[in-house]
């Protein structure tokens, strides 16, 4: 297994499990995760998350969709103005997980920027 500490920081088992279930994956006795065809992909949700880049990428887009954002890639620096960092109000479990994923990706890529987690001010 690839050890990437930033993934452990960002990982939300509940959100990732919800994503996999929505795609037809399932956990079974013994902790194995099975794909929609019934084939085992990993032992445990975190290993499925950490070792399967395509699933992680789809998961990030799923979170963005749930949070009302036009795809995870649209938040990344190569797709935004220089110095931009997204404001993600942690008003839902999806937005909180999305901000964690953004922070992990930025840390892995060597960027100092992190998502701004503000609070909405009622007027």
The pTM of the full predicted model, rounded to 2 decimals, is: 0.78
Q: How confident is the model at residue 20 (pLDDT cuts 50, 70, 90)?
A: very high
- Examine residue 117 and state whether it is found in any structural domain, yes or no: no
Query: Domain span at residue 18?
Result: 5-109
Burial class (CB in 10 A: 0-12, 13-18, 19+), 54: exposed
- Examine residue 61 and state whether it is found in any structural domain, yes or no: yes
| Polymer length in residues for the chain | 123
CA separation for the pair 108, 103 (Å, rounded)? 9
CA separation for the pair 45, 14 (Å, rounded)? 9
- Examine residue 119 and state whether it is found in any structural domain, yes or no: no
> Do 49 and 56 form a contact (C-beta atoms < 8 A)?
yes
CA separation for the pair 76, 85 (Å, rounded)? 8
- Examine residue 12 and state whether it is found in any structural domain, yes or no: yes
- Examine residue 105 and state whether it is found in any structural domain, yes or no: yes
pLDDT score recorded for residue 2: 46
- Say yes or no to pLDDT of 23 above 90: yes
- Examine residue 116 and state whether it is found in any structural domain, yes or no: no
Domain count, the chain: 1
């Amino acid at each position: 297994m690839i050890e990437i500490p930033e993934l452990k920081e960002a990982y939300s088992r509940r959100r990732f499990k919800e994503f996999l279930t929505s795609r037809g994956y399932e956990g079974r006795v013994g902790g194995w995760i099975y794909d929609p065809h019934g084939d085992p992909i990993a032992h445990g949700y975190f290993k499925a998350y950490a070792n399967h880049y395509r699933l992680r990428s789809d998961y990030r887009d799923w979170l963005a969709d749930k949070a009302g954002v036009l795809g995870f890639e649209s938040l990344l620096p190569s797709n935004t103005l220089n110095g931009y960092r997204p404001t993600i109000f942690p008003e839902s479990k999806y937005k909180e997980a999305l901000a964690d994923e953004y922070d992990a990706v930025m840390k892995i890529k060597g960027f100092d920027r992190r998502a701004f987690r503000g609070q909405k001010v009622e007027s």
